[in-house]
Amino acid sequence: MLTTDRVAGVALALIALFVLVESRRLPLGTLQNPGPAYMPILLAVILGAAGIFISVFGGSAPTLDSVGWSEWRHAVAILVVCSFSALALERLGYRLTVACVLAFLVAVVERKPVVLAIVFAVGIAAGSFYLFDTLLRVPLPRGPFGL
């Protein structure tokens, strides 16, 4: 039966395996004089062992089906929006990016009135830019037309 611990344990073991494979590119050193790969390999072995133990003894954990995933659509939308902001921040500038992000989240994801979404998005984008960039002199990226 697929339980949360079994799935998580296998995932941790796979991460450990990935680290072990990737660490082959680095010098291991010796037990007395550890190289750059020494600590990652040691930690990967610990993580892998822990993952296997968690997986083996994880039969009594809740099943995967019993975990509620009702909010997954929102979660995916937010992750997509975050990805967009990471891609756009230095291309479109802070204000445009933030305004787009907020307008999308409020109007499309939360289905609030469009006017409210636009006012909110522009207000937060311009206000936070003014506070941090203009008043506090924290340089925030500008986009086309100095926006």
Partner 1 sequence: MIETLQNLYLGFTVALSPPILLYAFVGCVVGTLVGVLPGVGPLAGISLLLPATFGLDATRAIVMLAGIYYGAMYGGSTTSILMRIPGEAASVMTCIDGYAMARKGRAGAALAIAAVGSYIAGTVSVIGLMVLAPPLAAFALRFGPPEYFTLLLLGLLVLAYMSGGSMLKALAMAALGLLLGMIGIDQMTGYFRFAYGVVELGDGIGVVPVAVGLFGLAEILATAGLETPPAVIKPRLRELLPSRQEWRDSAWPIGRGTVLGFLIGIIPGSAHIISSFVSYAVERRLSKRPEEFGHGAVAGVAGPESANNSATSGAFVPMLALGVPSGPIPAVMLAAMMVHGVSPGPLLIKQQPELFWGFIASMYVGNIVLLILNLPLVGVFVNLLRVPYPLLYPAILVFCILGVYAVNSSVVDVWIMLAMGALGYLLRKFSFETAPIVLGVVLAPMLEMSLRQSLAMSDGHYAIFLQRPIAATLLGVGVLLVLLSLRPLVTRTLDWRARLALAEKGES
Which residues make up the interface to partner 1 (CB under 8 A)?
4-5, 7-8, 12, 15, 19, 22, 26-27, 30-37, 39-40, 43-44, 46-47, 50-51, 53-54, 61-62, 67, 69-75, 78-79, 81-83, 85-87, 89-90, 94, 98, 101-102, 105-106, 110, 112, 120, 124-125, 128, 132, 135-141
7 within 8 A of 56, measured Cβ to Cβ? no
Alpha helix stretches (DSSP H) within 57-135: 72-92, 94-103, 114-129
- Closest distance of CB 86 from partner 1, Å: 4
- Closest distance of CB 145 from partner 1, Å: 21
CB atoms inside a 10 Å sphere around CB 97: 23
Where does residue 29 fall: left (phi above 0), alpha (psi -120 to 50 degrees), or beta otherwise? left
Q: How far is CA 143 from CA 34, 94, 114, 134, 140, in A?
A: 47, 7, 24, 16, 10
48 within 8 A of 16, measured Cβ to Cβ? yes
Residue whose CB is less far from partner 1, 72 or 145: 72
Residue whose CB is less far from partner 1, 8 or 147: 8
- Closest distance of CB 106 from partner 1, Å: 6
- Closest distance of CB 121 from partner 1, Å: 8
Residue whose CB is less far from partner 1, 32 or 146: 32
Residue whose CB is less far from partner 1, 111 or 145: 111
Distance CA 19, CA 47 (A): 10
